[in-house]
Structure formats: C-alpha cells, structure tokens
Amino acid sequence: MASDVAKPVLCAEALSKRFGGVVASDRIDFSLRRGEMRCVIGPNGAGKSTFFGLLCGILRPDAGRVFLKGRDVTHLPAFRRVRMGLGLTFQTNRTFHALTVAENLETARRASARDAADDAHFRAAYAAFDLAGSARLLARELPHHQLQWLEICMALRRGPDVLLLDEPTAGMSPGETMFTADVLKMLSRDGLALIVVEHDVAFVRKVAETVTVLHQGAVFAEGPVEAVTQREDVRQIYLGRVREKAG
C-alpha cells in the first residue's frame, strides 16, 4: 500500500504544444502522486489550460507523453482517459445550462453503475456543497458558485482517481473560495489526487503542499508552497501579471 502511494498516478514527460508561433507547452515534466493535492500557478497565458488540455486528451501534444496510472495514454482520446479515472472541469463553467441539476449529474453518471463504492468522493462533495436542495432547478438558475460546485460534482460522478480543476474558484467570494478549499482538502485526504489551477494565493497556501509554476509554457519552479511563493523571480512574473491586468 505504501509503495502504491508513492507511485505517480498521473505523469507527463517532455510535453510540448505549439499554436502557430506560440509555444503553449514547453517540454513539461510533471508527476502527481496518488492522493496528492497540487496547485499549478502562473500568469495569464502561461499555458495552464493548455497543459490540462494535453493531460486530459482534448489537445494532442506535438511531442512528449502522458501516463495515467502507469499506462501510456498519449494516444487515447479524452473519453477513454475519463473512463480510466480522470475528471476535469473547465475554466469557464460548462455545465448543461438547459438541464436540471439532477439531470446534469445523471448525465455524468456512468450508464451501468456497477460498483457504488467508487463514487464515495462524489457523495462526500455533493453533501458538502449541499446541492440536493437545488436538484430540481435548471442549472442556469443556480448562482455562480453553485454552478462551479455542480461542475466539480459532475467531474467526480464517475469516481475518478485524479481530478483536474481549472480555476474552480474564479468569481467566488472569499468565503466561498475558502469553503471550496476545505471541501477539496477533504477529498484529497480521502485519497483523491487533485491538480488545481488557481490564481488566489490564499487558496493555494491553504490547500497545497507542492506548487508548480508555469511560465511561457515551461515549468518555471516547483516545490513547497512557502518556498516557491517566497521566491523573488516567481513574484516578479506574478507582479508582471498584476501590472498587465491593471494596465
């Protein structure tokens, strides 16, 4: 069991992707342990979403490989990776707005629910986010933070081992953000591996042990939260970003 925890559940080798002249992913090496909670940070356009796209299979890499639970999935389509135990939420909320909350979750359910045991993460999150009361509402009638929670629950519905969340707390109030952090931490403690793209440093400090900093498509820094966020050069890129945003 102990060796199992140490084994990477998701792993990338020299992953690269260009869009025309833009190098969106530049030889990214990456490894995530079972049950690990990782934050990926980086300024706008750093290539975080592209990296997620490559991991989950909606983008094809120009070079490099992706391993999921020890298996080379570089050439597998996205839905196969999901069936193997990967879940993802998008940067912009992509729940089915015209369907009810219950239908959204029903759609996310595997057609033949054989083993109920592996949706423990889903049930925990569903209860924590308290969506049951809104089950009959149309998704578009939900407030924004609940929509985000709904999408997380959908991604958990099949009982994945790894969950990729692209800016899950964007647009949430500080209170909602911290609550979301608590729930994600709980899931992580229960054995779910997570990668979370996040800009909110308070959030990152709260949930992650290790952070990976992407910059111009490449891994710029990686290490313990405190150390990395203290680094001058990391602050520099982020300051750059803040200034860009302000100007």
Partner 1 sequence: MMRTLRLLNGAHDLGQGRVFWSGLALLAVAFLAYPVVASSFTATNVAYYLLNIPMALGLSLLWGYGGVLSFGQVAFYGIAGYSYGIVAGNLQEFAWGTVAAAITALLAAGLSAAAFGYFVFYARVAAWIVPILTLVLALLLATFLGLTAGYQWRVGDVQLGGYNGMTGIPALQIGGVTFQDYAFFYLVVLVVAACYIALRVWVNAHRGQVLMAIREDVLRTELLGYDVRLEQLRAFVIASVLAGVSGVLYVQWGNYITPSAIGLQQAALPVIWVAVGGRDSLLAVAIATFLLNQLTYVLSSSGNQSALVIVGGLLVAVMMFAPEGIIVGVGRARWLRALKVRRWSAHPGHGE
Partner 2 sequence: MLPELTSILYQFGTNAAFLLLSALGLIVILGMMNIINLAHGEFMMLGAYAASFVVHRGMPFPLAVIMAFFATALFGIVLERLVIRRFYGRELGALVTTWGISLILAQGALLLFGPYMPPIPIPGGAVSVGVFSFSVYWLILIGISVVLVAGLALVYRATRFGLQARATMQNPIIARSLGIRTGQIYMLTFGLGAGLAGLSGALLAPTTSIAPYMGQQFVAPAFITVVVGGGANVIAGAVGSSAFLSLIETPVSLTLGTFYGTMALLVMALMVIRVLPAGISSLGARLRPIVAR
Ligand X SMILES: Nc1ncnc2c1ncn2[C@@H]1O[C@H](COP(=O)(O)OP(=O)(O)OP(=O)(O)O)[C@@H](O)[C@H]1O
| Interacting residue ranges for partner 2, rule: CB under 8 A | 18-20, 49, 53, 58-60, 90-91
Q: How far is the CB of 1 from ligand X (least distance, A)?
A: 36
Strands (E) located in the chain: 8-19, 22-33, 37-41, 63-68, 71-72, 86-89, 162-166, 193-197, 210-215, 218-224
Which residue from 236, 169, 155 is spatially nearest to 203, judged by alpha carbons? 169
**By rule CB under 6 A, what string of x and - marks binding of each residue 82-101 to ligand X?**
---------x----------
Q: Among residue numbers 11 through 50, which ones bind Mg ion (CB under 5 A)?
A: 48-49
Distance of alpha carbon 3 from the chain centroid? 24
Q: How far is the CB of 139 from partner 1 (least distance, A)?
A: 10
The 8-class DSSP code of residue 135 comes to T
| Matching residue, tokens 């939420």 | 89
Contact partner, 44, from ligand X, partner 1, Mg ion, none, Cβ < 5-8 Å per class = ligand X
Q: Does 90 bind partner 1 (CB under 8 A)?
A: yes
Choose between 24 and 153: whose C-beta lies nearer to ligand X: 24
3-state DSSP helix/strand/coil % of the chain, to nearest 5 = 45, 25, 30
Contact partner, 77, from Mg ion, ligand X, partner 1, none, Cβ < 5-8 Å per class = partner 1
Pick one of 36, 50, 156, 187: the residue that binds ligand X (CB under 6 A).
50
CA angle, corner 74, sides to 168 and 55, nearest 5? 10
Contact partner, 59, from ligand X, partner 2, partner 1, none, Cβ < 5-8 Å per class = partner 2
Rounded-to-integer distance, Cα 170 and Cα 147, Å: 11
Pick one of 35, 41, 42, 215: the residue that binds ligand X (CB under 6 A).
42
Contact partner, 143, from partner 1, ligand X, Mg ion, none, Cβ < 5-8 Å per class = partner 1
- Tell me the number of residues near ligand X by CB under 6 A: 12
From 46-54, 82-90, 149-157, 188-196, span contacting ligand X (CB under 6 A): 46-54
Q: How far is the CB of 45 from partner 1 (least distance, A)?
A: 21
DSSP for 16-60 reads EEEETTEEEEEEEEEEEETT-EEEEE--TTSSHHHHHHHHHTSS-
Largest Cα span, the chain: 54
What are the tokens at 163? 């969950």
Q: Which residues bind ligand X (CB under 6 A)?
A: 19, 22, 24, 42, 44-50, 91
Q: Which residues bind Mg ion (CB under 5 A)?
A: 48-49, 91
